[in-house]
Amino acid sequence: MKKIITYLLVLGSLMLPKIQTNIAGTSREPSSNQLEKVIYKENIINISKPDTLTLKEYLQHIRAPKYRLEKESCARYVRKAAETIYRKKYSWGDAWNMMYRNKVVSEIKDSIDIFKLMNTKKMLPGMVMGFKNPHSGNKWKKDDSRKRVKYTHVALYVGVNENFEPEFIHQEGRAIKKSTLRDLQKSEYSPVILLDELNGSK
């Protein structure tokens, strides 16, 4: 009996390092990249089961209307598209000055802020998102308040796709595009501010 107990103790001591290694392996914290994906998916899950009315608000399936505009006319495109699709009238001006002539719904720090606004129905189709573009030739300009511009590009939020990813229509150069939030972020656009027409949603 003593030999059996001794054998089991020796066997256990040999296996312990492997067990500890496995435990350590499973308890490692995920990388920042993994965390970002998990948080992104969690936010999609949060809005993937809304009530019927919310679903109708989000799943728009909007096609980007085409207009004959000059190159780099993102603000003009957004105004025309918003009026055509949503009957909203945004004030005129350069993209970076729209924040002074329209209602600021919220400032945006990252994509998580966007999902929070969607979940609370504070961000609705027909609102305009301002994006910072590090490659824009306008990033050194000053806005109406004589401050360096906060953002240089605007896009019209038109709901979500089947994967519940936010979608935007916008003009980039001469091209008219429909892009998901991820598409824009892959092109190094960073969301900065959410706008609505002055008489829009409260």
58: domain range? 32-196
Q: Which of 98, 119, 148, 127 lies closest to 200, judged by CA?
A: 127
- Asked if 190 and 132 touch (Cβ cutoff 8 Å), the reply is yes
Q: Which of 154, 153, 160, 156 lies closest to 85, judged by CA?
A: 156
- Asked if 50 and 35 touch (Cβ cutoff 8 Å), the reply is no
Q: What is the reported pLDDT for 29?
A: 40
Dihedral sign for Cα 186, 103, 62, 81, please. Answer: negative
In a domain, 26, yes or no: no
In a domain, 1, yes or no: no
Q: Which two tokens stand for residue 52?
A: 């019927």
Mean pLDDT by runs of 10 across the 202 residues of the chain is 45 40 37 42 44 56 88 93 95 93 94 86 94 89 91 95 88 94 94 90 52
Phi, psi of 7 (to 5 degrees): -60, -45
In a domain, 184, yes or no: yes
In a domain, 163, yes or no: yes
In a domain, 97, yes or no: yes
Q: What is the reported pLDDT for 22?
A: 36
In a domain, 14, yes or no: no
In a domain, 4, yes or no: no
C-alpha dihedral, 116 to 191 to 193 to 93, nearest 10° = -150
Domain count for the chain, please give it: 1
In a domain, 7, yes or no: no
The burial class, CB within 10 Å (0-12 / 13-18 / 19+), for 98 is buried
Q: What is the reported pLDDT for 119?
A: 81
Q: What is the reported pLDDT for 116?
A: 86
Q: What is the reported pLDDT for 54?
A: 53
Q: What is the reported pLDDT for 103?
A: 96
- Asked if 166 and 180 touch (Cβ cutoff 8 Å), the reply is yes
Q: What is the reported pLDDT for 15?
A: 40
Phi, psi of 154 (to 5 degrees): -125, 150
